[in-house]
Amino acid sequence: MPENCIGNTPDAKQLVDGDHLQVLRICLVLTFVVCGGMVALFWPQNAWLGFGMAAASLSAMAVFVALQYQRIAFLPASICMVTIVYGVIHLMAFFGKPDGIGAAYYFCTILGAFFFLGITGGILYSMACALAAVLLYLPPALLSVQAMNEFYVLITSITCTAIIAYYYEHAVAKRTYALTNSLSKMDRLANVDYLTGVSNRRHFFERAKALFQQPGSLSLIALDIDDFKKINDTHGHACGDEVLITIARLLDHRLRGDALLGRTGGEEFCILLRVNRTIAHRRAEELRSAIASLSCRVGEQHIPVTVSQGLATRGPGDEALEHLMLRADRALYEAKHHGKNGVALAKPGTALA
């Protein structure tokens, strides 16, 4: 989609990312509260374990605050949270308070890792969990059949959880991608002119009205293709469509990122520039000259094309965008009346005069 007609509708990925961010905030707060509660629970039994829980609690709150003030991005914050939880699990497993509690939490953290870190991050985290389980629980498992059975269940559970989480996250990613495409297509259908690819009339005026509310210089150019009906009658409507497409591409290329462009009528375009009258007049002349030197080629035919433009710059009498548009239209009529292929400047004063 051309830059001059980009919409403001968030796509599906933005919506999903927003949900992920909200869940991450909740998880960080819960980690802070739970680990803080564990300080009081474990400190009388083991000071080092209590100290570790306090450090985890404060770390979670620090990441939360950094996330709230946009000092850290989503992915690093997710890595920090997963690392904190991973550390808490193995801290409890190391001190054995209570027995086996570390192993029990592997499964929910694997699901969380896939949720926050994506497929690649979730796989790496699952591999780290499996490796830690082997290092921590295999030595005692070799001493008894019952311990070996528990170790086998643990490894199997980690593997199955990782497989389920992988395919679930993969399915979510596919749905997100499909929804993103659907939203993009809907946004394009609603906001983009089907033929030229620039903003349609509704979308142009919707954005132009928002820009009109902002302070600063503002100039509006009403541009109309000269003798367009003659082009259609002589060369056919297919040729007329090619002329429209060619001019729209030229305008979009020359105005990219610098103006608001829209097709507001059959052969009429509007350009909104955040510049004063002098600069806008120069830009309009540059566009007129570029189009006049352009020979639209359709098959074996070369069709000369010119445009007329009316330029109005916001003044004290322009209380609404419609006033500015009315003055630009009147100037366009003057350009047409005085020989076409020119730029006419709107007269100062109130729009309704």
Displacement of CA 184 from its chain's centroid (Å): 11
Q: Which of 67, 66, 62, 37 is nearest to 50 (CA)?
A: 37
Distance from C-alpha of 200 to C-alpha of 318, rounded to nearest angstrom: 23
For residue 317, count CB atoms less than 10 angstroms from its CB and return exposed for 0-12, middle for 13-18, buried for 19 or more.
middle
Distance from C-alpha of 113 to C-alpha of 121, rounded to nearest angstrom: 7
**Active site residue: 267, 268, 300, 334, which one?**
267
Q: Which two tokens stand for residue 116?
A: 């926050």
267 a catalytic residue: yes
Backbone φ and ψ for 224, nearest 5 degrees, come out as: -130, 135
For residue 146, count CB atoms less than 10 angstroms from its CB and return exposed for 0-12, middle for 13-18, buried for 19 or more.
exposed
Instruction: Determine how many CB atoms are found less than 10 A away from the CB of residue 341.
Output: 17
Task: Tell me which residues are annotated as active site.
Answer: 267
